Amino acid sequence: MEKRAIIELSDVSKSYATSGHIAMPLCGITASVPQGAFITITGPSGTGKSTLFRLLTRLEEPDKGRIVYQGKPLSDWNPPELRRNLHYVFQVPILFPGTVADNLDYPTKIRGGKLEKQEMQKLLDRVSLPRDYLSRNVGELSGGEKQRVNIARSLSLAPDVLLLDEPTSALDKKTTEHIEQEIRNYHAKGHTILWITHSPEQATRLGNIQWHLEGGRLKERTIK
């Protein structure tokens, strides 16, 4: 039985005025994301991959077309609620001043809760960071360490859909393998994953569906 679509895009276009001309990274995109899919997204730089994620999380609005999540148009979703369910992990980590613990606790704190130390330690285990990093100031971390804290914080939300924008670009081979396996485990629990990568090998290794964006168009193929 074919799985229902958790996200549907219908004739979606997005353009920008740059240096006196119009760039259109997305031009009439129509596609659907099946519930529980692992979609890897490839394509040259500047071809709309990150723009797509910004549209899905309502950080930007399409020029035309319609995007539906869980059967409801994105325009009908409250943006904070949408972003808890359909969560974007940026390529460049966005961390708040303070410690690693402060950052891991933040999503729970703004909802009136508190993440216990043991839970935060388990999150660090999931991204291959030492547990004593909880007390480290994020300003002292390397780029790769910041990215792992960013991923751990996102996993604490347990979103239905996880949007990952080149999450391993600053990581070494061993750590990349660890993060890939953690995301595979997360996917195996029924979550939907969209992962942007510039590596065709990584795209094939991870995804069961591949989207290729180029010239404003999307091509899809089933990997496995």
β 21-34/192-196 pair status:
unpaired
Alpha-carbon distance of 185 to 152, in angstroms, equals: 14
* Cβ-based neighbours of 80, under 8 Å, separated by 6 or more: none
170 in a domain, yes or no? yes
- Tens-digit pLDDT profile for residues 26-41: 999 999 999 999 999 9
For residues 166-192, b (16+ Cβ closer than 10 Å) or e, as one string? bbbbbbeeebbebbbebbeebbeeebb
Neighbours of 114 (CB within 10 A): 10
Q: Which residue has the tokens 């942007």?
A: 196
pLDDT given for residue 2 in this prediction: 61
Q: Provide the token pair at 108.
A: 């729970």
Indicate whether 178 pLDDT > 80: yes
Residue 80: domain span: 5-94+159-222
13 in a domain, yes or no? yes
At residue 151 the predicted structure's pLDDT band, cuts being 50, 70 and 90, is very high
45 in a domain, yes or no? yes
* Across 84-93, 105-114, 134-143, 173-182, least confident range: 105-114
Number of domains comprising the chain: 1
25 in a domain, yes or no? yes
- Tens-digit pLDDT profile for residues 89-110: 999 998 999 999 999 998 888 7
40 in Cβ contact with 203 (< 8 Å): yes
